[in-house]
Amino acid sequence: MRVTAWMLAGLLAPAAAQTLPPPPPEPAMGALLRQIKPEAMKTQIAALAAFGTRHTASETTSETRGIGAARRWIEAQWRACAKDTPLQVGTRSHIEPVGRRIAAPTEIVNVVATLPGKDPKRLIVVSGHYDSRNADVMDASGDAPGANDDASGTVAVMQLACAMARSKKPFDATILFAAVAGEEQGLLGAAQLAKELDVDGQLVEAMITNDIIGSSRGAKGEYAPLRVRLFADGLDPLLRLALRGATPPHPRLAAQQQLAAAGGADDLPAAQLGRHLASAAERYLPGFQVDLIARRDRTLRGGDHLPFLERGLAAVRFTEPFENYANQHQNVRLVDGKPAGDLLEFVDFEYLARVTKANLAGLATLAWAPAPPAGVQIDASELSNDTRLRWQAVNGAAGYRVVWRRSEAARWEFAKDFGAEARDALIAGVSRDDWVFGVQALGADGHASLAVYAPPVSGR
Ligand SMILES: [Zn+2]
């Protein structure tokens, strides 16, 4: 057998470190997860579907039909949870002018619930869109129950807010739960939300959208009750900007272009968020699998994470394993004598509860962890087969973790922990030429922040 450099590196790595530990045991997690109940989610999706249509331009004065009734109902449901919890509920609205999918100026209302953390400047956002559509995206009056697209994501976010607001263990980061409108008309509510939240003095550290998460079955009989897809890639907006050429990119994206050029194309913030969510879900939901997809979304399609992603923020999308296009964006009707359309009966509530729990595990562990470190670098000022890293201190961090993986591996593989005083580390025998490195901040209870890619720099 020929001994390759790769095999040698594989032999050397474990000697220098340990394999990446899973997220720590968390006594508070069980009680959190147990609050997510399929029956309650079914009741709420049935209520949303019963508004007939939730088209963004549908009527707003009726109490029983249209998007106005739907958003008032969502707000009322959250207000009920806010009675005995710190949840803060409200609406944010703006008037969207006439556009490609907006026939007349239309009020777009996002319903939001905020769970204040110890640090009001660190924001974690999770969304679903409560607007719906049928085959004609401009049909504001025909039935569009939208049970899966996206009452499933909306109800997930509604349940997450109520469950996390009742957590016995407080969160460090502030979590903003959003039921947004205007998705089907061009991501209008999410774009407005991104603009409002991405302001000086606070940072959206992570954003997750849940869109079409209610079915474990495909049209051809495929069945995957223990899997979900997670679209997590930050490189795509950079490539699109480069192709478009004209507009100057957001300053954060310009910085990420540098990072990508320095070997970090697979390590932009969205990818780190994807890795975090996958490992948390798989740790706290044994048997459940997150299929990490290094793409911004499904082919030629989009979702509410994109306005955040295009600002260079860590934003990702959960979607069920097989979309059933016979029911999605369809009119409610009979096909060969069988009902078709986005109906309640096609939602798998046990599955939806599982995906909601996957969100919960990822959100809670991230909100319990410190902020990710800044100034992460590999010191490449000298030629060496060891790797020297440095980073800046993080408020409240109890330690730091250097993580690394093979250049073609999707997830972090090895780790070495350092104390709260450490600002640099030497990983002996693991070459920066062969491995990808990142650094995380650790909380006192072992929860790790998002990893930050370490680009090589030639001097201080
Ligand atoms: Zn959708």
DSSP states of 9-67: HHHHHHHHSEEPPPSPP-TTHHHHHHT--HHHHHHHHHHHHTTSB--TTS-SS-SSSSH
pLDDT in tens, 183-210: 999 999 999 999 999 999 999 999 999 9
Measuring CA to CA, which residue among 13, 82, 115 is closest to residue 363? 115
Distance 317 CA to ligand 1 centre (A): 11
Structure confidence at residue 460 (pLDDT) = 56
Please name the residue ranges forming H helices in 303-343: 306-309
User: From CA 118, how far away is CA 191, in angstroms rounded?
Assistant: 27
Structure confidence at residue 14 (pLDDT) = 45
Average pLDDT over residues 263-272: 95
Distance 150 CA to ligand 1 centre (A): 5
- Secondary structure class of 293 (helix, strand, coil): strand
Residues ≥6 apart with Cβ < 8 Å to 310: 237, 250, 253
Distance 183 CA to ligand 1 centre (A): 7
Q: Residue 40 corresponds to which tokens in the numbers above?
A: 């309650």
- Secondary structure class of 313 (helix, strand, coil): coil
User: From CA 16, how far away is CA 430, in angstroms rounded?
Assistant: 7
Distance 46 CA to ligand 1 centre (A): 17
What percentage of residues in the chain have a pLDDT greater than 90? Answer: 84
Whether the per-residue pLDDT at 11 is higher than 60: the answer is no
* Side chain identity at residue 101, one-letter code: R
Work out the pLDDT band at 425, boundaries 50, 70, 90: very high
Among 18-22, 167-171, 386-390, name the one with the lowest average pLDDT.
18-22
Work out the pLDDT band at 7, boundaries 50, 70, 90: very low
Distance 36 CA to ligand 1 centre (A): 22
| CA distances from residue 328 to 131, 232, 331 in whole angstroms, order as listed | 13, 23, 9
Distance 319 CA to ligand 1 centre (A): 9
Measuring CA to CA, which residue among 309, 262, 253 is closest to residue 125? 309
Cis peptide before 379 (omega within 30 of 0): no
| Distance between start and end Cα atoms, the chain | 43
Average pLDDT over residues 274-295: 97
Distance 429 CA to ligand 1 centre (A): 48
Whether the per-residue pLDDT at 122 is higher than 50: the answer is yes
Distance 149 CA to ligand 1 centre (A): 5
Work out the pLDDT band at 250, boundaries 50, 70, 90: confident
Structure confidence at residue 164 (pLDDT) = 98
Distance 245 CA to ligand 1 centre (A): 29
Q: Residue 120 corresponds to which tokens in the numbers above?
A: 């009001």
Distance 17 CA to ligand 1 centre (A): 43
Average pLDDT over residues 60-69: 98
The CA-based diameter of the chain, rounded to the nearest angstrom, is 76
Structure confidence at residue 3 (pLDDT) = 44
User: From CA 135, how far away is CA 330, in angstroms rounded?
Assistant: 5
Distance 371 CA to ligand 1 centre (A): 30
Distance 282 CA to ligand 1 centre (A): 25
Structure confidence at residue 13 (pLDDT) = 47
Please answer whether residues 418 and 409 qualify as being in contact, where contact means their C-beta atoms are separated by less than 8 angstroms: no
Distance 105 CA to ligand 1 centre (A): 22
- Secondary structure class of 382 (helix, strand, coil): coil
Structure confidence at residue 325 (pLDDT) = 82
Work out the pLDDT band at 237, boundaries 50, 70, 90: confident
Please answer whether residues 204 and 198 qualify as being in contact, where contact means their C-beta atoms are separated by less than 8 angstroms: yes
Residues around ion ligand 1, judged by CB within 5 A, are: 149-150, 211
Structure confidence at residue 243 (pLDDT) = 65
Under the phi-then-psi rule, with left for phi > 0, alpha for psi from -120 to 50, and beta for the rest, what region is 167? beta
pLDDT in tens, 290-345: 999 999 998 888 899 999 999 999 999 999 999 888 788 889 999 889 888 999 99
Distance 79 CA to ligand 1 centre (A): 25
Mean pLDDT of all residues in the chain?
93
Average pLDDT over residues 429-457: 97
